[in-house]
Chains A and B, each alone.
Chain A
Amino acid sequence: MSVLETKDLTMSYGSRRGIQNVSLQVESGEIFGFLGPNGAGKSTTIRILMGLLRASSGQAQIFGLDCWRNGAQIRREVGYVAGDVRMYPWLTLNRGLKIVSQIHGRCLQAEGQQLADRFRLEPDLPVRKMSRGNRQKVALVLALAIRPRLLVLDEPTSGLDPLMQDTLMVCLRELAAEGRTILFSSHTLSEVESLCDRIAMIRGGSIVEQDSLSSLKVKAPRRIQIQLSPDQQAPDCWPAGVRVLWQPSHATGLPPLQASQHHLLSIPPGQLSQTCLLELTGGSGEFLHWVTRQGFADVSIGAPSLEILFRSCYAVDSEQAGAKT
């Protein structure tokens, strides 16, 4: 049985877009990445899972129990850190641990103290005197201290410095090694890529990809940079699977002020007139066969990159938003 499962989960905020037909499945012991640009519906999905929001239709279950009806029972074994952590100004870590211990009916002080040491957190400093990063740490310690079966983290690294991000990643790997399940929501691909076993990408309120990291990497496009010979013109026709991001004399593909300009940052300005920038989706055999016959000065082919896949999702979302305005 899946630890977490949603089926055709739909919710809207009045006229505002929420999520549509979101179906997810997270297995026990998995670190599941939930990726998407800002406003894509990650937090809405998580809030439905945590019983804060009521879905218009569809099912959301954790441990086989309905998230809305059995919320309190589910949350006994779920730790949650919200995206934008807000805590009571009077709360200290010790006080928080005391309250959470009383609610859970077991003492969490020792576990909390250990985590506080790892995250270098002052246990008696009130939240009102803390920086954003420290508030984030308090929320993390309180969520981790209960040793949850399922940990739901909504952009947990925002506000943490790189060292603390590393500490968190180590903690999460330890939890996963103990067989605990983690739902890790983020819009930062690198941390998801380094941590997660499987990934779902959400865009515009709908899941656009859901697969293991290795499978997604196969699907992900490669970035190819071609250096033309001094008198060479860019080819008129490219092989199948190639998307031209830039070629001398004209730009194609994405609108110039969005993704295409970002791609051009990797090319030195002086070389723009002699460089083609491509994205290749699928196998590279046919392309390699084609490229050897072209007489290019240089060709560099990158590894399949999830970042490109993610950015292509994001770009479509931005285009849609742009079209609406």
Chain B
Amino acid sequence: MRGLLSKILAEVLWPVLWFCLGLFLIMGLLTALLPKVLGNIHEVFDNMPLVKPLITALLGVDPGNQISAQLSQAFLWTHPTLLTLLWAHELMYCSRMPAGEIDRGTADFLLCQPVTRLQIFLAESIGWIVSGVVILCCGCAGHLTASGFVHPEMRLPVSSGLLVLSNLAAVYLAVGGLAFLLSACSDRRGRAVGIVFAILLLSFLLNFLAQFQEWVKTVSWLSIMEYYRPAIVIQSDQFPQSDVLTLLGLGALCWTTALVIFHRRSICTV
């Protein structure tokens, strides 16, 4: 296992560090700038009517004409830049094995070492979770660093922050599990990444369209974003148990299926 972890570290160290730095800066910038931007949001709503449904879709609640300090914090945690960076890391990481290994032909080297496929998959999963924790912590660190420079009212209480973070971590696990599953089914990394990307895009779209179309609400439970509502979590200050459990269930199901498929499938690099 140590050898496998060394190999993973050598492969993903620099990309993960870049994602960490990116998330640290983005969260810091958003924390510092969002209160200023959102303070005048009613003018934006008046001038650009489409912005409001977009923010409603992101937050999961109607912000009204003014965005409160709480909602501004929620907006921070649902900001597309944050989600894009996090998911980009996941797509990059989780599609590496086996799809990426098969695609570039290195699967022969890896799978012909005296390790079981279960060990390979577990090592990859450890790397995935550890890198996710590190990246999320860097995001939090960016947020906390910048919080020192904003109005105290704009700072998120630690308890609420942890609740949102746990919900985001569950999203991370669900998306990663899905990426592992598609990677396990595919011989082409690009195809696996493309499908996961399409699913995430569709999730956003469903969430957005549900603001306008009643019938879309009936299928919006299919969207991953339906289970990530920081605004509601911050407002209620309660652990989003059902959302987290749904996301963890999805993640666990996808991850286990990916493991079974990877364990049983023939792998051909030619």
Contact = CB atoms under 8 A, between A and B. Distances in A.
B152 interface: no
Contact of B113 (A43, A47, A87, A100): A100
B268 to A, nearest CB: 6
A52 B109 contact: no
A103 B10 contact: no
Given A43-B270, A53-B268, A90 B11 contact: yes
B116 interface: yes
Interface residues of B, number: 27
A54 B261 CA distance: 13
A84 interface: yes
Interface in B194-235: none
A72 interface: yes
Contacts of B113: 75, 100, 103
Given A13-B268, A71-B116, A102 B109 contact: no
A84 B114 contact: no
A99 B108 contact: no
B191 interface: no
B267 A53 contact: yes
Interface in A70-103: 71-76, 78, 80, 82-84, 86-88, 90-91, 95, 98-103
Contact of B114 (A43, A72, A82, A101): A72
A80 B3 contact: no
Given A72-B114, A72-B115, A102-B3, A53 B109 contact: no
B109 A86 contact: yes
Contacts of A99: 3, 6-7, 10
Contact of B266 (A52, A91, A102): A52
Interface string B97-125: 00000001111110111111001000000
A73 B266 CA distance: 18
Contact of A80 (B105, B112, B116, B268): B112
A84 B105 contact: yes
Contact of A101 (B3, B112, B267): B3
B269 interface: yes
Interface size class of A (residues with CB under 8 A): 20 to 34
A52 B116 contact: no
B114 A98 contact: no
A51 interface: yes
Contacts of A139: 109
B2 interface: yes
B122 to A, nearest CB: 13
Interface in B224-267: 264-267
B114 A103 contact: yes
B35 to A, nearest CB: 43
A50 B109 contact: no
Contacts of A84: 105, 269-270
A103 B4 contact: yes
A86 B2 contact: no
Contact of A103 (B11, B104, B115): B115
Nearest to B104: A86
A90 B116 contact: no
B114 A73 contact: yes
B108 A52 contact: yes
Contacts of B270: 43, 83-84
B11 A52 contact: no
A83 B268 CA distance: 12
Contacts of B119: 72
A53 B106 CA distance: 15
B92 to A, nearest CB: 15
The 6 closest A-B pairs by CB, nearest first: A86-B105, A102-B3, A103-B3, A76-B114, A82-B108, A75-B114
Given A53-B266, A54-B266, A83-B270, 4 more contacts: A52-B112, A76-B114, A82-B269, A86-B106
12 contacts: A52-B111, A52-B266, A54-B266, A72-B115, A72-B119, A76-B114, A78-B112, A82-B269, A86-B104, A99-B3, A103-B113, A104-B114
Interface of A: 13, 43, 47, 50-54, 71-76, 78, 80, 82-84, 86-88, 90-91, 95, 98-104, 139
